[in-house]
Structure formats: structure tokens, C-alpha cells
Amino acid sequence: MATPAARAFRRLEGLFCVYKPAGVPWKLVRDGIETKLLKGLDALPSLPIPEQTRFLPPPGGDNLTPKVLSAVCVPALSKHRLVTGPEFRHIRVGVGHRLDTFSSGVLVLGVGNGNKALNDLYHTRVTRDYTLEGEFGTATDDFSHMGRVVERSTYDHITQDKLERVLAMLQGANQKALLTYANVDMQSQEAYEMAVQGSLGPDGKSPPILMSLRCIRFQPPNFTLEVQCLNETQKYLRKVVHEIGLELRSTAICKGVRRTRDGTFTLQDALIRHQWTTAEVMRAVKKNRPSTRSVISSNRSTPVPTDKEVRSSYETQSCDRLTPPRSHKQDLMS
């Protein structure tokens, strides 16, 4: 007979997402959730202590009188929780597409057998949305506002129209790269059906690809971009902001990276810190199970790259291919 804790753990197995605040490492978030889930499972009532039959002498009497043993049912204290300890000492909580320490937003986690689904989701063509906060006029060694300042420049000549033109140029270059890595004939029926379904994407591993770029706020020197991308890292996105500043004959730093969507998981689905409880995670896993299953079955990449290949592509990614020829730069600034 399964215990209440075991039944609860089965309902925990799956995928859910939380909101990771900026300045907190993802490992600390994962460990904190794992600890809270363990405490929640161990706080559930245990099964009644089973009884066992023992042959005991009757109470009282002197030691000289022969005693007749009688069968008595007594609790099996060896099964008591104080003796056996907590039923769950460790549960496996996995992390999907990670966020670095200074980024915030949606972080997808998997519990138990949900880690297999998490690995499948990791290798699908699902896109992710980010909000990037930028500031013109400064350049740092790591492209963020936390780095060492290496250059300052003017930005009075930058207009929203010029910024939109640079974003359109970058998006066009990435759309061309997407078709290149899709490994499918663009004139075929297969390509048409994939485009209609929204599943057109790189076949296997590829460099980071920006699916769309949009400026949602422009108040010089500050600006905000909305980005949809594949195979990215937060360092790469900061470098994109730096490259945008260079294209506009200025400099720029990234003041914040916030993930607003990871596949089917959005900010509305993300559990904030006070919701990291067993009951809330159960509800989130149940809610997200159907959509996660459909995404994994319809968007799996073929062939699936290994974790080593994925890490290698992240380490070698660069923005150099996004830079247009010199003549294009002159046209943009004219």
C-alpha cells in the first residue's frame, strides 16, 4: 500500500516553471525548491504503525511461579517514523534552459520522471522570448552594466527610426541563417507545411538565431527590446545589444535580461517564491502536462544533439555573422 507521501510524489512528477529573480544563481533556486518539496512530502501523515504478534508473560506475579505465555498484538516500533527516518531523503529536480546569475524570468524545472520530459523539451525547436534593457553611451568588457567601463560615446544622433532599421537588418540576417540551418528545400511542400505549423527551425545544433527583434520602449539613452530566439545564452543577448550600439555608431550596454517565455511556459505560469510549496507545484505540474506533451511530440529536432555538442555550440557562439558588409552600414546611417 502506497503511503500518502509516495502518492503525492507521483503527482509531483512532471514539469513546472518558477520565476528566478536577478542576482540569484539558478542552482540556489533549484536547491531551495528541492528542500521545500522534501519538507512538504515528509510533513504528510504516514501509514498507521503495523502490529505484530508477540508471546509475552502476564504482567505481575513473582519470579518463582511458572509463567504462561500469551499471544499479544503490539505495535511494530521498528516501522515507526522516528526509527526509519523521513521517507524521502532526496528527490531529483532538474533545470531546463538555464539563466545566469544576473538574469531573471521563467525557469523550467522537472521533478522525478519529469526530467526525461525536460531533456526532450531541451532538444526541441521551441523558441524563447526575452526583454532586454539597454543603455546607449557606454561600453563594458562583459557588455553588461556590471562590467568594467572601457569606452564612452555620444548618442544624441540615435533616433528610434535608425534603431528600427538596424533591428530589421539583424532580423533579416538571422532569418536567412534560419533557412540555411533548416536543412530543407524551401521550394518543397514539406517546407510550406513546416512554415504553416510554425515548426520551421534548425535541424540539429545551430548557432544562436534571433527569430524577431522589436523595440518596445525608446527613451534615450535607455531602450527596451523584445526578442524571440533559439539556442541563445544570456551572454550572447548582451553582446547583441553591444553590437546594436556599434551599428548605430555609438556604444551600448545591457542593463537587464528577463525571460518572459520558454516554449509553452510564460510569466503567468511561473511560481513566485512564496508559491514554492508542494501543493502549488502539484497544481502547476497538472496544468502544464498536456501542453508539454504536445510540444515534445510535434517539435522534436532530428537528429537530437548530445549535451556535449550543445555546450560546445554555446561556447563558440558569436555575433560576427550578424554584422553586415560595410556598404550596408553606410546605407543605414545615410
What are φ and ψ of residue 123, in 5° steps? -105, 15
CA-CA distances (angstroms) from residue 9 to 14, 44, 92, 111? 10, 11, 11, 9
d(CA 14, CA 3): 20
Contacts of 176 (CB under 8 A, 6+ apart): none
Cβ atoms within 10 Å, residue 274:
7
* 13: helix, strand or coil: coil
Asked if 192 contacts 301 with a C-beta cutoff of 8 angstroms, the reply is no
Cell reading at 238: 548582451
Q: Which of 31, 42, 62, 100 is catalytic?
A: 100
d(CA 144, CA 253): 5
d(CA 121, CA 108): 10
Asked if 194 contacts 298 with a C-beta cutoff of 8 angstroms, the reply is no
Asked if 99 contacts 183 with a C-beta cutoff of 8 angstroms, the reply is no
Residue 100 is among the residues annotated as catalytic for this protein: yes
Cis peptide before 57 (omega within 30 of 0): no
For CA atoms 239, 242, 246, 247, give the dihedral sign: positive
Enumerate the active-site residues.
100
